[in-house]
Amino acid sequence: MTNQYTEDSIRSLDWKEHIRLRPGMYIGKMGNGSSPDDGIYVLLKEVIDNSIDEYVMGNGKSIDISIKKDNVTIRDFGRGIPLGKVVDVVSKINTGAKYDSKVFKKSVGLNGVGSKAVNALSSYFKIKSIRDGKSKLVEFSKGLVVNDEEIQENSGRKGTTVSFTPDKEMFGDFKFINEFIEKMLMNYCYLNTGLTINYNGHKFYSEKGLFDLLDQNTDAELLYPIIHLKGDDIEVAITHCKNQYSEQYYSFVNGQHTVQGGTHQGAFRQAIVRVIRDFYNKNYEASDIRQAINAAISIKVIEPIFESQTKTKLGSTEIEPKGITIQTFVLDFLKKYLDNYLHKNPETAEIIQKKIQHAEHERKAMAGVKKLARERAKKASLHNKKLRDCRVHYNDNNKDLRFDSTLFITEGDSASGSITKTRDIKTQAVFSLRGKPLNCYGLTKKVVYENEEFNLLQSALNIEQGIDDLRYNKIVIATDADVDGMHIRLLLITFFLQFFPELVKEGHVYILETPLFRVRNKKETIYCYTNEERIEALSKLGKNPEITRFKGLGEISPNEFKYFIGENMRLDPVIVGSEAKIQDILKYYMGKNTPQRQEFIINNLKIEEDIEYEHEKNIN
């Protein structure tokens, strides 16, 4: 019997039902907090954006944020929401002051959706506004009003407080990661000099804006002092680094970190090349000019157009109301200010030229090696099948699926075979290593082309020219939980940090967690990732359950792997702390301090669980 398409087939959803049914339309992907673009951080950002907009409009100099377990509270000292509209602004789509460009000229949130999405996707949501000596408080659950208090007298400081708890029905067993939040908050401060953000007892503040951003986030040694230029609605910071090959950009629009770049970042990269060529009157290659550049750009525009609700990529082509293209706006600014700077600072200009000439010489010397490496990569991908690719990639236009694209890097035929058989072929790819990778600490990028494994991995990721065309959003290192597996992890992370640090900085690299134990009886199977989980499983399943200790990924059957790389997949993000310098990390773990490295490997494995488990087996 065919399905009938009648009037009864048509249904209308109210705002909260639609957000909960199609959350990806509002906050991108859901996730569990292991990735910086997971939904729980988008919820946090949507609320903070409203407080930032108040600061930008000259209202309130600080924002207080606290996160305790799953609950978030954000308090600003802006004007406070008009009390009669408190319910509407968080529960009626297309309601908000952002539609009045006179009130919020260059704000981040423009479509009146953000706070409604937070409300609908939270098991608990509270909003309180104080203004004109009075306050209004409303509480919701999953978008539904559960407590609507009358307006009361209140002598407290004006402003808005929002508290929410993301709904575990939507986000599962999520966890906030402090490093991701601190990076987000620091970016807010770089872009809003003079703003103080207090988060869980820590203070975030910046005096020099994008200068501070580059100064605090650049790991390699600078070739020359940071060039910091500011104009109307635009700010840039530029430098080049020693012993760096890739380009590193931080781009922002109206305070929003556009991690995927967009028209403004593209215009900036082109403008740098134009200005440098004109200044030196030399037709240098663009790649030579930009090699090892670290730069940041922030622009402000009225009603920016983003390519998605999560605002990670700018799509606007024109600056309104000026009526000029973003490309022209950025180029005109750099033509004037960067050119003037280079004329006034000839020492810096000379260093930049020498850097470009060195890159040019290196590129020409490497031309033959690169050509041979590309041919080898093409041949290997056709015949050796090191890469089992997926259908959807990060740089595809499929916005719903591209964020799920994942490349598993495995070692050994059995492990890669198991993952290959059970993966989602639409979004999950597998790259098979042959043996341990080379320790590339201290080596030049030439090794990437001369070493077959690195060359093929670079080709699979499509990152030879930088990460703009990265093919996978997640790069997952899947190795055994033993000493050899940990060593392979370190070698791969060294490769990424040495030659492609932006992959780690932008949150693309992860470690796959796999279970140490399987505990089961005839009715139920429980996979345990820690000894504590094993003890809990034994208690739950009762007498004499079967216990299996997985020594390696190859021991896990394809049917079981489906559980570990599907909805229940556990990933640990590889994070470089804000205080850490990449070269110091590499020197410590991959240099000549072998005893320290061995101690690190041992301390970061669950060897004590093996010992305890074997001890229990012997007793029994």
C-beta of residue 332 within 8 angstroms of C-beta of residue 233: no
Predicted pLDDT at 98:
46
Q: Which residue among 169, 204, 239 closes a domain? A: 204
pLDDT for the residue 113: 67
Q: Do 181 and 226 reside in the same domain of the chain?
A: no
Q: What is the CA radius of gyration of the chain?
A: 26
Mean pLDDT by 10 residues, the chain (620 residues): 51 72 82 86 91 88 93 94 88 54 46 78 94 93 92 91 94 90 93 94 94 88 93 92 85 83 86 94 93 91 67 65 78 93 95 93 81 72 73 78 86 78 90 86 82 88 84 91 82 88 88 88 88 90 87 78 82 75 67 65 52 45
Say if residue 22 is in the same domain as residue 46. yes
Same domain, 48 and 75: yes
Q: Where are the beta strands (DSSP E) in 101-193?
A: 122-131, 134-141, 144-148, 152-153, 159-166
Residues 199 and 302 both lie in one domain: no
User: pLDDT at position 97, please?
Assistant: 47
Q: Tokens representing 339?
A: 């050119």
Kindly state the helix (H) or strand (E) to which residue 430 belongs, with its residue range: strand 428-433
* Residue 406 belongs to domain with CATH number: 3.40.50.670
Q: Are 239 and 105 in contact (CB under 8 A)?
A: no
Q: Is residue 376 part of a domain?
A: no
Q: Are both 222 and 110 inside the same structural domain?
A: no
Residue 198 lies in a domain: yes
* C-alpha span between 76 and 395 (Å, rounded): 37
405 and 422 in a single domain? The answer is: yes
Same domain, 187 and 58: yes
List of E strands, 149-301? 152-153, 159-166, 196-199, 202-204, 227-231, 234-240, 248-253, 256-257, 293-299
Query: Could you tell me if 151 and 239 lie in one domain?
Result: no
Please report whether residue 1 resides in a domain: no
Which of 338, 356, 374 is the last residue in one of the domains? 356
Indicate whether 132 and 222 sit together in one domain.
no
Q: Note whether 168 and 246 are same-domain residues.
A: no
3-state secondary structure of 434: coil
Identify the three-state secondary structure at position 267: helix
Indicate if 425 and 487 belong to the same structural domain: yes
Answer for the pair 248, 295: CB distance below 8 angstroms, yes or no.
Answer: yes
Q: What are 515's two structure tokens?
A: 């279970």
Looking at the domain assignment, is residue 558 inside a domain?
yes
CATH number, domain of 73, equals 3.30.565.10
Q: Which residues contact 508 (CB under 8 A, 6 or more apart)?
A: 467, 470, 472, 473, 474, 475
Task: Count up the domains in the chain and report the number.
Answer: 3
Instruction: For residue 482, tell me if it sits in a domain.
Output: yes
Are 195 and 220 found together in one domain? no
Q: Write the DSSP assignment of 468-501 as a string of letters.
A: TT-S-SEEEEE--SSHHHHHHHHHHHHHHHHH-H
Residue appearing with tokens 């140490």:
516
pTM confidence score: 0.80
Is 520 within the bounds of a domain? no
Q: What is the pLDDT of residue 596?
A: 67
Tokens describing residue 565: 């790389």
Beta bridge partners of 251: 297
Give residue 618's pLDDT.
Answer: 42
Among 204, 230, 249, identify where a domain stops: 204
CB 574 within 8 A of CB 493: yes
Do 200 and 67 meet the contact criterion of CB atoms below 8 Å apart? yes
Report cis status (omega within 30 of 0) of the bond before 321.
yes
364, with CB counted inside 10 A (0-12, 13-18, 19+), is exposed
**594-603 and 483-499 helices, crossing angle to 10°:** 120
- 125 with 140: CB under 8 angstroms? yes
Question: Do the beta carbons of residue 289 and residue 278 sit within 8 Å?
Answer: no
Residue 402 per-residue DSSP state: G
User: What domain range includes position 431?
Assistant: 384-514+550-619
Q: Provide the pLDDT for residue 103.
A: 38
**DSSP SS3 for 379:** helix
CATH of the domain at 336: 3.30.230.10
Inside any domain, residue 537: no
The neighbouring-strand residues paired with 573 are 510
Q: Are 594 and 487 in contact (CB under 8 A)?
A: no
* Cβ neighbours for 131, distance < 8 A, ≥ 6 positions apart: 79, 80, 81, 82, 83, 158
**364-368 contacts, C-beta under 8 A, 24 or more apart:** 366/445, 366/446, 366/449
